[in-house]
Structure 1
Amino acid sequence: MRRSAVAIAGLAAAALLVPEAGAGAERESGAAPPIAPSTASARPTTAPAPAAALRAAPMRVTTVLRGLDHPWDIAFISSRQFLFTERARRTISIGTLGGGKRVVGRARGIWASGETGLMALELAPDFARTGAFYTCHGYRSGSTTDVRVARWRLNAARTRARLVTTIVRGLPATTGRHGGCALAFGAGRTLFIGTGDAVVGRNPQRLRSGGGKVLRVDARTGRGLRTNPYAKSRYAMKRRVYTYGHRNVQGLARRAGRMWSVEQGSSRDDEVNALFRKGNYGWNPVPGYNESVPMTNHRLPGKQRSARWRSGRTTLATTAAAWLRGSVWGNRAGRVLAVTALKAEQIRLLRFDKRGRLRGQSVALQGRYGRLRAITVAPGGALYVSTSNGNGADRILRVLPG
């Protein structure tokens, strides 16, 4: 179960949502300047509309913690306490609803550069009994860097967390760009891992690479599941592949047994995708690293799956996502996906029907707190959102409908 056992529900009022529209923002931090669109095929989803067409969803916002530096992910461990990571500080801390903070974990060898550092955080399904949780982080040994997934254990006193074992290593890393790093549990011990392509053009379509993929592994061993599409491959990384053809997956959220991903685009088309076993999501920036190609290139061999939502001609720099549930949000349980954005400085609220078709969207917190990164759901249904402005000026916010 994602984050905690707390249920949360969709937005209360349909008036906060308008029919399908998309809106761009400036390009992703660190990305190449916008390039003229390619003539290669990019089969459209619903046509985007200007940002001005989107209504603002009123919210009540309270600052829970201040003085943070790029808090990347949040997971509630009780009704009043949550774990969170800080990317460049490479720390795992416990925060409280009263505003306290205590560092409980820091591991040697964690590498932070650019977009990579100590990133995703996900509680094990048996966390209440074992104290086990998982992180995705950069790692350096000598001159070699990669991205890894590790299992940690928080002690019963909740004063110290230690890294127990690394379950996946060898995910590609170069300068720190496109480190990906999203974690979410499926059923049982099934752990999904969203990765970035590390700005290497061949990685997304190369099945022996862990870059530009969503992997599905056994959370105890890190091995690919027997039901994965390439489970009989001789290559360990290929056996882990669930979907491929991604650029930079930074968010995962599960609804009704289906995992969804949030992916950052190049100079256009951030994407929200519903994930299907063996799906190719069409990113193939070759030769070299050609950012002018479509995010979903339907001229590739075979079938490519189109996005369920895309930002349009410019990007928002979408990051994390959470499905809204719980009575505090009204009677639209499981229908609204809340997606944070860095450059657009907003929460984008996307309403999908039961078949996963986009039916409307609105925005919240537009420009009020700067760049937004993490989003998760607290007991009782409140959204907890982190900012990502840097220099020790970041916060964790509590967000409720206004």
Structure 2
Amino acid sequence: MRHTVVATALLASAALFLPEAGAGAATDTASPRASAVAASAAPAALRVAPVRSATVLTGLDHPWDIAFISSSQFLFTQRDRRTISLGTVNGGKRVVGRSGTIWASGETGLMALELAPDFARTRAFYTCHGYSSGSTRDVRVVRWRLNKARTSARIVKTIVRGLPATSGRHGGCALAFSRGGALLIGTGDAAVGRNPQRLRSGGGKVLRVDARTGRGVKTNPYARSRYAMKRRVYTYGHRNVQDLARRGRQVWSVEQGSYRDDEVNRLRRKGNYGWNPVPGYNESVPMTDHGLPGKQRAARWRSGGSTLATTAAAWLRGSVWGNRSGKVLAVTALKGEQVRLLRFSRKGRLTGQSVALQGQYGRLRAVTVAPGGALYVSTSNGGGTDRIIRVLPG
């Protein structure tokens, strides 16, 4: 969802951005603790960005990620069907990859999809998925290869294994390549309280690895550790990372909150983002606990008193967006049923926000930009009712 991801046809002009809506900006109910604030959800206070949209594909089930491989074709995953499919901008689709060991339960299944930087030559791409075989259950990152005819794909190598999995809750897994070519892997905490702050666990982290071997890169903060997983750690203290979006050298994460405070974070090497739900799994603690030892990184945006269930994110890119290119981050939401448009300064300060597609298609999951600038967004309503939508400026 970063693969060039453009944030929606939103904004006919920069004037569509209003000042930050503040802590009440989230919509929808979350947990019972959040229900009291849901009625005052703030999208009504946000400027609506005009867009025009059209359905490209239908009959899908939780399409989780989309990556364009040409101007007319894209790959996409379906979480619960555990398939990789090839779609076309004219509405065609066919399954090209599957594996019997992919495990789907709750929030976990076949999730993120990221093209290798040299995809045009190697036809290699990466996915995150739940894995189950015998007594083994975890979340894994694997490399696939698409054949020349683009009719089938097969797993070539498992890059990282052993990311924690329990019931399937908080199995979020996001992929992106850094500017230097390392593979970044954002993970969920598997609803285990000690995982986010425990550096030997792969849960609640952003890992940075060599995409060929899966080993931690030499410039990682704990590269000399005796523990393989710790050597991979780039940042920690996350709850449930859903996506990663790169802007130049900067890497940003989208993270789902507990009963409040979905977050957009700018990642810093060795950064602790403050999630520490202990003892047990205590979700009443702050998303960013500044009482922990050391310095915790503050979020660049929060949803406030209720959650939107934020999912994917992408920076607007290209001349079609004018001076908005590289300044506006589009963030999709499940409960919020919207694309939230966040404008950030070059230094990462939030300067305004707006909203698009509010309630038009239900729960929104993936966001990717096609060659030429159209935005492709997926829904996540389930039951075979999902679709992929093309969005253009209104």
Give the TM-score range, shorter chain: over 0.9
Partner residue in 2 for 1:45: none
Letter in 1 for 2:174: A
Partner residue in 1 for 2:389: 397
Change in Cα spacing, 1:36 to 1:78, as seen in structure 2 (3 Å) is: closer
- 2-structure distance, mates of 1:211, 1:392: 30
Letter in 2 for 1:3: H
Change in Cα spacing, 1:86 to 1:351, as seen in structure 2 (3 Å) is: same
| 1:202 and 2:194 matched | yes
TM-score (structure 2 length as normaliser): 0.95
Partner residue in 1 for 2:348: 356
Letter in 1 for 2:232: R
- 2-structure distance, mates of 1:151, 1:158: 16
Identity %: 80
Unaligned runs of 5+ in 2: none
2:312 to 313, 320, 342: 320
Change in Cα spacing, 1:82 to 1:55, as seen in structure 2 (3 Å) is: same
Instruction: Name the SS for the 1:52 alignment partner.
Output: helix
- 1-structure distance, mates of 2:388, 2:6: 19
Letter in 2 for 1:34: R
Q: Once superposed, what is the RMSD of the aligned Cα atoms?
A: 2.0
| Contact 1:180–1:248 under 8 Å retained in 2 | yes
Please list the CA deviations of residues 244-276 of structure 1 after superposition, one character each: whole Å capped at 9, or x if unmatched: 000000010000211000000000000000000
Change in Cα spacing, 1:245 to 1:390, as seen in structure 2 (3 Å) is: same
| Contact 1:10–1:324 under 8 Å retained in 2 | no
Partner residue in 2 for 1:42: none
Please list the CA deviations of residues 10-66 of structure 1 after superposition, one character each: whole Å capped at 9, or x if unmatched: 9551121111124123355xxx643799xxxxxxxxxx9933221100111010000
Partner residue in 1 for 2:14: 14
Partner residue in 2 for 1:299: 291
Deviation at 1:149, TM superposition (A): 0.1
For residues 235-254 of structure 1, the aligned pairs below 5 Å read 235-254=227-246
Letter in 2 for 1:313: G
Instruction: Name the SS for the 1:204 alignment partner.
Output: coil
Change in Cα spacing, 1:50 to 1:8, as seen in structure 2 (3 Å) is: closer
Unaligned runs of 5+ in 1: 38-47
Partner residue in 2 for 1:80: 72
Segment drifting more, 49-58 vs 60-69: 49-58
Partner residue in 1 for 2:257: 265
| 1:139 and 2:109 matched | no
- 2-structure distance, mates of 1:50, 1:26: 10
- 1-structure distance, mates of 2:318, 2:305: 34
- 2-structure distance, mates of 1:297, 1:255: 27
| 1:385 and 2:384 matched | no
Segment drifting more, 90-99 vs 181-190: 181-190
Deviation at 1:6, TM superposition (A): 9.3
Instruction: Name the SS for the 1:331 alignment partner.
Output: helix
TM-score (structure 1 length as normaliser): 0.93
Partner residue in 1 for 2:26: 24
Partner residue in 2 for 1:3: 3
| Contact 2:9–2:393 under 8 Å retained in 1 | no
Deviation at 1:331, TM superposition (A): 2.0
- 2-structure distance, mates of 1:290, 1:36: 19
Deviation at 1:281, TM superposition (A): 0.3
Segment drifting more, 275-284 vs 49-58: 49-58
Letter in 2 for 1:19: P
- 2-structure distance, mates of 1:314, 1:212: 21
Partner residue in 2 for 1:372: 364
Partner residue in 2 for 1:96: 88
Instruction: Name the SS for the 1:238 alignment partner.
Output: helix
| Contact 1:94–1:101 under 8 Å retained in 2 | yes
Deviation at 1:325, TM superposition (A): 1.0
- 2-structure distance, mates of 1:333, 1:239: 35
Deviation at 1:143, TM superposition (A): 3.3
Change in Cα spacing, 1:7 to 1:348, as seen in structure 2 (3 Å) is: closer
Change in Cα spacing, 1:186 to 1:9, as seen in structure 2 (3 Å) is: farther
For residues 110-121 of structure 1, the aligned pairs below 5 Å read 110-121=102-113
Letter in 2 for 1:26: D
- 1-structure distance, mates of 2:104, 2:7: 34
Please list the CA deviations of residues 88-111 of structure 1 after superposition, one character each: whole Å capped at 9, or x if unmatched: 000000000100001000012000
- 1-structure distance, mates of 2:34, 2:68: 41
Partner residue in 2 for 1:278: 270
1:171 to 163, 168, 173: 163
| Contact 1:9–1:327 under 8 Å retained in 2 | no
Letter in 1 for 2:360: R
| Contact 2:316–2:325 under 8 Å retained in 1 | yes
1:228 to 214, 217, 220: 220
| 1:213 and 2:205 matched | yes
Equivalent residue pairs, number: 389
Change in Cα spacing, 1:296 to 1:36, as seen in structure 2 (3 Å) is: farther
- 2-structure distance, mates of 1:316, 1:245: 20
- 1-structure distance, mates of 2:8, 2:45: 27
- 1-structure distance, mates of 2:27, 2:244: 22
- 2-structure distance, mates of 1:130, 1:6: 25
- 2-structure distance, mates of 1:13, 1:96: 30
Partner residue in 2 for 1:109: 101
| Contact 1:177–1:198 under 8 Å retained in 2 | yes
